[in-house]
Amino acid sequence: MDPRQPSWLDRNEFPFATHTFAHPDGRMHYVDEGEGPIILFVHGTPDWSFGFRHLIKAFRSTHRCVAVDHLGFGLSDKPRLADLTVQAHARRLQAFIDNLGLQDVTLVVTDFGGGIGLQHALERPGNVKRIVLYNTWMWALNDDERFARPARMMRGWLGRLAYLRFNFSVNVMMPTAYGDRKVLTPALHTQYKQVFPTPASREPLHKLVKEMLDAGPFWAAQWKEVDRLRTIPTLIAWGMKDRFFPPDLLEKWRQALPHATVRTFPEAGHFVHEEAPQELVQAIRTFLIEH
């Protein structure tokens, strides 16, 4: 057992060495497995690098698989006063990429990881060889009441109580987002609960849900530049039973990136990498071979 890894961590599921990126805002944990062309995985909320373990295991024999935990998430530090906006997460990811000298990456993004990770593709499209995106977005949500209404509720005192006291994001929203809740076994769920064991540790979750509205200008600026992604081979994969990110969001991506390859997973919900890992691996492997 790596002394830097917690005792609750399931090492059979997550048998990876611990690495640390010392950012001025705080220490960031990351996985770095295998050799070869680089696949960079960028998670959302309440996820962390653990969620990508099936993909890492599948590709580390042929690729260098890198998955960083955003500050405040996973095994990274959770500093109270750090900037935990989407824009700050994107800046730290860029610093991480520069620090490791990651070049010609295949970028795999999901959930909030879309707006965070795709900023690198917009700023440095020449460094991104391919994009894989699923159940994510990169546009302002303020005018979409499906997102704006619950976001307004969650940013108030009651939402803060739910997030900090009752770990609402992990205990309620996460299982609701699964196409089949039985896939999220108690043992698996523990790996997500334990990274947010106290009310103070859950502050990053609440700050990020407030970004659903607060990051609107940042995402609007990104979406204006979405055409810059059209030169990059892209795979759009989508869990069709996602209760929070329904198929019309897939259609928005399809229209914006008409060159993209599209694969759908009829029985998967929001967490495709947990719910249909082998099917997702096969889709990505085929995409890598074709591009």
| Catalytic site positions | 111, 242, 270
Residue 47 near residue 169 (C-beta atoms within 8 A): no
Q: What is the DSSP letter of 38?
A: E
Q: Which residues of 76-102 are buried (b: 16+ CB within 10 A; e: fewer)?
A: bbbeeebebbbbbbbbbbbebbeebeb
Two structure tokens written together for 32: 């770095």
Contacting residues for 49 by C-beta, under 8 A, at least 6 apart: 29, 30, 31, 41, 43, 67, 68, 69, 74, 75
CA distance 32 to 30: 7
